[in-house]
């Protein structure tokens, strides 16, 4: 039962027989169509239900999904109670924020994470490519996509947690081959990376790679997005000024202004995940000690220096691997999230689990200080002892 755009409560409860064209609600209609009183019932896009003067369908669904009362579901057309307690209801949604809280309370939430690149490659080989071949009337011998080519399509032409966009791009490749088959033009059935760019055009997205940190104050953070994981860089810089911060060491903070910058300004950034990353960037710039290479981190901090766990760990870790990160700093409480990831996906990564910010600083900052012009700019800092 597709719920997208439903605004009339009668769609759920049915119409009273006094109205012309009255009929049962879609719940009872679907039970009749299934021919069973205990089917698996899918409520698709439950977060897209509307609400206007006709009624509130989401409130009508309370009776449907509440196990305490759905054994006596009342349809206005049938006019007798119907037992829905044996029905297995499965609802789908893209976002929980638009679902009525009372309705959400009746449901058990099962979050489905996005696919990894390895999973997408197998899905493309086993399902998407055969499906597109059938739809475009070409045989398996007419086109071949290697794993490296599919990976290029995934990384350079899609940004999603699912595979809908990937299917469209594979469809474009298949149509490119179908055109050559129809025109009886000679071609190589094994699609190369060059062929991909010829058919799909220049890459749409740049792969997020580790850029290095040759200066102090640059730290690599990990982020969760709706289309998977990503890496981001937290930058801090100093400039002569009259700092207005009331902090512990006046010799330092009264003479320098701090600028903390997060590149990729078009990407929305919220949440606590960059807490330890920002503090590490500030510590790095004030001490002029560079952050260790190929290291990333994610975690929330308190004013007491405690490192707290954050979410979206799977997506963040996989993004780090794609970006050639080698070591990752996490809260100890996030260890359980790492155990849920297949070992094959994280075998080249080294994890550091911490509980306090002091541990983060010890792990992240190298003993190498910045040389040259930057050191001259902040020469007063060198004489300041920062713990």
Weakest mean pLDDT among 61-65, 137-141, 182-186, 213-217: 213-217
How confident is the model at residue 35, as a pLDDT? 92
Does the domain at 218-382 match CATH 3.30.230.10? Answer given as: yes
Cβ distance 15 to 62 under 8 Å?
no
Does the domain at 10-105 match CATH 3.40.50.300? Answer given as: yes
For the beta carbon of residue 371, count every other beta carbon within 10 angstroms.
9
- Compare 338 and 217 and report the one with higher pLDDT: 338
Collapse the DSSP code of 68 into the 3-class scheme (helix H, G, I; strand E, B; otherwise coil) and give the result.
coil
- Compare 276 and 318 and report the one with higher pLDDT: 276
For the beta carbon of residue 210, count every other beta carbon within 10 angstroms.
18
Q: For 71, which DSSP code?
A: G
How confident is the model at residue 33, as a pLDDT? 92
CA 311, CA 340: separation in Å to the nearest integer?
13
Confidence of residue 53 (pLDDT cuts 50, 70, 90): low
- Compare 79 and 385 and report the one with higher pLDDT: 79
Give the residue-averaged pLDDT of 240-255.
53
Collapse the DSSP code of 52 into the 3-class scheme (helix H, G, I; strand E, B; otherwise coil) and give the result.
strand
CA 187, CA 174: separation in Å to the nearest integer?
13
Domain ranges in the chain are 10-105, 117-200, 218-382
Q: What is the biggest distance separating any 2 CA atoms in the chain, rounded to whole angstroms?
A: 89
316 is a catalytic site residue = yes
Catalytic residue among 152, 169, 290, 316: 316
Collapse the DSSP code of 198 into the 3-class scheme (helix H, G, I; strand E, B; otherwise coil) and give the result.
helix
How confident is the model at residue 90, as a pLDDT? 94
Third-level CATH fold of 117-200: Helicase, Ruva Protein; domain 3 (1.10.8)
Catalytic residue among 58, 237, 273, 331: 273
Q: What is the pLDDT of residues 80-104, one digit of tens each?
A: 899 999 999 999 988 888 888 888 9
Q: Which residues contact 179 (CB under 8 A, 6 or more apart)?
A: none
Q: CB-hemisphere CA count at 13 Å for 273? A: 25
Report whether pLDDT(214) > 70.
Answer: no
- In this chain, the answer to whether the domains covering 10-105 and 117-200 adopt an identical fold is no
* Encoded tokens for 195: 């062929």
147 is a catalytic site residue = no
Q: In what order do the strands lie in the sheet with 350-354?
A: 256-261, 228-240, 218-225, 295-297, 327-331, 350-354
How confident is the model at residue 98, as a pLDDT? 85
């Amino acid at each position: 039962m597709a719920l997208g755009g439903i605004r009339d409560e009668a769609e759920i409860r049915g119409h009273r027989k006094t109205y012309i064209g009255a009929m049962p609600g879609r719940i009872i209609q679907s039970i009749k169509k299934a021919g069973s009183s205990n089917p698996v019932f899918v409520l698709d896009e439950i977060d897209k239900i509307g609400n206007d003067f006709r009624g509130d369908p989401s409130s009508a669904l309370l009776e449907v999904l509440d196990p305490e009362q759905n054994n006596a579901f009342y349809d206005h057309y049938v006019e007798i109670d119907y037992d829905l307690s044996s029905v297995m209801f499965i609802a789908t949604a893209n976002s929980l924020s638009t679902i009525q809280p009372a309705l959400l309370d009746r449901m058990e939430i099962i979050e489905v994470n996005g696919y990894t690149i390895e999973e997408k490659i197998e899905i493309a080989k086993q399902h998407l490519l055969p499906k597109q071949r059938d739809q475009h009337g070409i045989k398996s011998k007419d086109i071949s996509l290697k794993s490296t080519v599919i990976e290029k399509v995934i990384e350079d032409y899609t940004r999603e947690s699912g595979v809908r966009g990937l299917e469209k791009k594979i469809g474009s490749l298949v149509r490119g081959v179908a055109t050559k088959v129809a025109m009886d033009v000679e071609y190589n059935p094994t699609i190369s990376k060059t062929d991909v760019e010829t058919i799909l055009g220049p890459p749409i997205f740049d792969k997020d790679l580790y850029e290095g940190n040759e200066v102090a104050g640059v730290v690599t953070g990990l982020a969760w997005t709706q289309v998977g994981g990503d890496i981001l860089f937290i930058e801090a810089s100093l400039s002569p000024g009259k700092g207005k911060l009331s902090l512990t060491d006046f010799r330092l903070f009264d003479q320098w202004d701090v600028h903390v910058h997060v590149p990729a300004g078009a990407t929305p950034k919220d949440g606590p995940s960059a807490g330890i990353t920002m503090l590490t960037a500030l510590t790095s710039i004030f001490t002029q000690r560079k952050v260790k290479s190929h290291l990333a981190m994610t975690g929330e901090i308190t004013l007491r220096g405690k490192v707290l766990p954050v979410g979206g760990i799977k997506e963040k870790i996989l993004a780090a691997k794609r970006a050639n990160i080698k070591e990752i700093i996490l809260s100890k409480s996030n260890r359980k999230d790492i155990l849920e990831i297949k070992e094959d996906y994280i075998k080249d990564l080294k994890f550091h689990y911490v509980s306090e910010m002091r541990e983060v600083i010890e792990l992240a900052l190298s003993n190498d200080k910045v040389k040259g012009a930057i050191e001259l700019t902040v020469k007063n800092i060198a004489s300041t002892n920062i713990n």
